[in-house]
Structures are given as structure tokens and as C-alpha cells.
Structure 1
Amino acid sequence: MKHINILMVDDHPIIIEGYQNVLMATKEDDQTLLIDTANNCDTASLMINRAAKETPYDVCFFDISLPASEDGRFASGEDLALLTKKMLPNAKIIILTMFNESFRIHNIIKEINPDGFLIKSDLTSMELADAFQQILKSPPYYSITVNNYVKQTISSEIYVDDINRKILHLLSQGVKTKSLSEYIPLSTSAIEKRKKQLKLLFSVSDGKDETLLQEARDKGYL
């Protein structure tokens, strides 16, 4: 019997229930699935840290849009995936998201390089079942939107690193630029420089933070 320890993180319990039902109904005869679930970054990060000390997860499913952790350290499924890579280096990481923006897809592949990357609007229960089994045996598995994107443009250079995502997240929470250095280990001038780069990256012509945040939202970064 193969015991497969799984963590599923999504802020919609009904979606998690759907994933669980599909996997339980389609698992192979010699597979036993042990599934933990979380609906936010706080619960998920605790579970990942606990698993690193006790029984590691074999597979982790992360939605990208999640309620941020209280301390602001984890603002999305991407942050949880990066934590998992550090704490559970053998776990297979599967990203499931509504975002099908090419910028976002590019960023996730470049930053996380997940074992599975599924866009929810592509997904049928059959595809989820197939993807899960393929990822166990020979990852990666990308759903059609991701595959098409990868084929079309391997060279796109929009890339927002971890610190830039934190800057965007904190600004969107109403934190003023002059206070950002309390949350991010950079000087105010270094943060200002990064904000300028972000405005160039997102083609913000009026120089306003509100426009930057709107562009970042439209492209799925917030």
C-alpha cells in the first residue's frame, strides 16, 4: 500500500471538497490518500512547518488567492509554495488558480517551477485525476492554458520578485511608502527605486500608486 500525504489549500471549502472527491474516486487500488486541508495562509503555514518536523507531505495543492497571514509574511499560495520548497524539498507542488494572465503564469513558472500547474477554468474532474497520477509518476503536468502560454512565450521578461510582491501587497493594505521599511529589510530609497521599476514594468504613465495597484490587480498580482 502506498500512503500519500496530501495538503490542499484553497479558501473555498466546496472546491477542496470537489478535489478530494475526485482524487478519492479515481485513486489507484494500491494508493491510500491522507488529505489535510487549509483555507488560509496562517493554517497552511502551520501545517507545512509541522509536517517538516513530523510526517512530510508528498503532494501540496495551492490556490494562489488566499487570505494573507496575520503577520503579513505569507500573502498568497506562491508564498506558501516557496515555504514548502524550503521546508519539504521532496514534496510535489501543484498550483491551481483562476489566474490565466500570461504575466502571472510566467511568474509562477519562473519563481516556483511547480510540478503541476492547472488553471481552474481548464479543469475537468478527469483532468484533475490524470494530472495527479502523472505528477506522482513523472512531473510536470501543465493544463492547456499554461502549455499554450509556455509554447508561445518562453522569453517574456515581466518578473516580479518576492520583495516586489510584498511591496505591492503592503501598499494595497494601505501601508504608506515611508513605513514600508518597517516590514521589508530595505532602505526607503531602495524601496522607492523598486516602486519606480514596478511602475515601468506595469506601464504606469501617471506615476500614481493607485494606478500601479490597479494594474497589478488586473494582471493577477494582488
Structure 2
Amino acid sequence: MNHINILMVDDHPIIIEGYQNVLMATKRDDQTLHIDTANNCDEAVAMIERASKKYPYHVCFFDISLPGSDDGKYASGEDLALLAKELMPRAKIVILTMFNETFRIHNIIKEIDPDGFLIKSDLTSMELADGFQQILKSPPYYSSTVSNYLKKTISSDIYIDDINRKILHLLSQGIKTKNLSEYIGISKSAIEKRKKHLKLLFLIDDGKDESLLKEAREKGYL
């Protein structure tokens, strides 16, 4: 028998009840599920710390928007996910959220690299059931909004044309932005626009040229 310890954290008890019912109704015959639930950061932290000492969770579901801990140390599901990863490195981390802005999705993937990432508006009971089994067997599992965002991010790489490649190359050679127009036959303002566009494409949050060049190198453009 495959015994699976699960933690579900969401500040809406009825949502947790829904998740529980779906997983219990769709689990495989050889699976026994033990599900703990928490509605805020303090409850969740206590459960994670307790479980990590004896019976670590196999899967943790974290909603992003949660009432923070009283000491202010944990303010969201992201903080809980990082704690769970630290104390229970083998646990599968699943993020559930209403947020579907690309910036937030990008941040969560970058910070947490979850085994499952589900946007609540994508979620059907079938998707939750399938996602759960896939997360156990061969993560990651991302719901459609997250997958589409990732596909866009990857396909956006294609739009780096020759001029943009030249800009990247010259910057990597130490040429200053103000002097780039001497090497490329377009105006300074056009170059600035292209640089902004490149930083968006490469998801550069801090706006620095060094970060842009580092990312371009990693993606094989330099």
C-alpha cells in the first residue's frame, strides 16, 4: 500500500474540502491518503515543523494568498513553500493561486520551481486528479495558463533579430549604449527601445545591462 502524507493550506475551508473530496474520490486503489489542513501561515508552519521531524509530507499544496504569521516572518504561500523545501527536501510542492499575471507566474517559477503549479480558474476536478497523480510520478505539472505562459516565453526568443543580436554582441564587447548608433545604422532612441524590448523578452527584473547579457549568454545568444 502506498501511504501518502499531504498538507493542504488555503484560507477558504470549503476550497480545501473540495480538493480533499476530489483526491479521495480519484486516488488509485493502492494509495492511502492522509490529509492535514491549515487555513493560515501559523498553522501551516507548526504542521510543517512537526511533520519534518517524524513523518514528512510527500505533497504540500499551498495557496499564495494567506493570512500571514503573527511574527511577520511568513506572509504568503510562497514563504511556506520555501520553508517546506528547506525542511522536507523530498516533498513535492504544489502552488495553487488565483493570480494569473505573467510577472507573478514567472516569479513563482523562478523562486520556488514548484512540482505543480495550478491556477484556480483553470482547475476542474479532473485536472486536479490528473495533476496530482502526475506530480507524484513525474513532475512538474502545470495547468494551462502556466503552460501557455511558459510556451510564450520560450517562443518569444525567436523574435531576436539581427539588429538585436548586434546590440547584445556590442554591449558584451563593452561598447556603451550611447555609442551603439555608430556601429548600427539606427538612432539612439531606437536602440533604447530595442534594449527595453530585449529586457522584457529575457524577463530582466532589475533593468541592468549585466543581467541582460548574463541571460543572453545562458540562452546561447552570445
Aligned-pair distance for 1:87? 0.2
Q: 1:57, 1:158 → 2: CA distance?
A: 33
Amino acid at match of 2:109: I
Match of 1:145 in 2: 145
Amino acid at match of 1:40: N
Equivalent positions of 1:107-118 (< 5 A) are 107-118=107-118
Q: 1:158, 1:108 → 2: CA distance?
A: 13
Q: Secondary structure at the match of 2:114?
A: coil
Amino acid at match of 2:94: I
Given the alignment, which residue of 158, 163, 185 partners 2:205?
158
Q: 1:157, 1:57 → 2: CA distance?
A: 35
Q: Secondary structure at the match of 2:109?
A: helix
Given that 1:107 and 1:158 are in contact with CA atoms closer than 8 Å, whether structure 2 keeps it comes out as no
CA RMSD in angstroms, aligned pairs only = 1.1
Following superposition, which runs of at least 4 residues in structure 1 exceed 3 angstroms of deviation?
Answer: none
State yes or no: 1:41 paired with 2:41.
Answer: yes
Given that 1:11 and 1:40 are in contact with CA atoms closer than 8 Å, whether structure 2 keeps it comes out as yes
Aligned-pair distance for 1:23? 0.2
Q: Deviations over 1:153-186 (max 9, x none)?
A: 2532237xxxxxxxxxxxxxxxxxxxxxxxxxxx
Aligned-pair distance for 1:22? 0.1
Match of 2:3 in 1: 3
Amino acid at match of 2:38: A
Amino acid at match of 2:82: L
Match of 2:122 in 1: 122
Q: Secondary structure at the match of 2:108?
A: helix
Q: Which has the higher contact order (CA 8 A, sep 6+)?
A: 1
Given that 1:6 and 1:33 are in contact with CA atoms closer than 8 Å, whether structure 2 keeps it comes out as yes
Given that 1:56 and 1:88 are in contact with CA atoms closer than 8 Å, whether structure 2 keeps it comes out as yes
Q: 2:205, 2:120 → 1: CA distance?
A: 23
Larger Rg: 2
Q: Secondary structure at the match of 2:7?
A: strand
Q: Secondary structure at the match of 1:62?
A: strand
Amino acid at match of 1:87: L
Q: Secondary structure at the match of 2:8?
A: strand
Q: Deviations over 1:161-216 (max 9, x none)?
A: xxxxxxxxxxxxxxxxxxxxxxxxxxxxxxxxxxxx9xxxxxxxxxxxxxxxxxxx
Aligned-pair distance for 1:27? 0.1
- Mind listing any 5+ residue stretches in structure 1 that lack a counterpart? 160-196, 198-222
Q: 1:109, 1:18 → 2: CA distance?
A: 25
Amino acid at match of 1:71: D
Of the structure 1 ranges 84-93 and 145-154, higher mean CA displacement relative to structure 2 is found in 145-154
Amino acid at match of 2:115: D
Match of 2:136 in 1: 136
Given that 1:5 and 1:59 are in contact with CA atoms closer than 8 Å, whether structure 2 keeps it comes out as yes
Q: 1:45, 1:158 → 2: CA distance?
A: 30
More helix by share: 2
Q: 1:54, 1:88 → 2: CA distance?
A: 11
Q: Secondary structure at the match of 2:60?
A: strand
Q: Percent identity?
A: 79
- Mind listing any 5+ residue stretches in structure 2 that lack a counterpart? 155-201, 208-222
Q: Deviations over 1:89-146 (max 9, x none)?
A: 0000000000000000000000000000000000000000000000000000000000
Q: 1:86, 1:139 → 2: CA distance?
A: 19
Q: 2:76, 2:120 → 1: CA distance?
A: 16
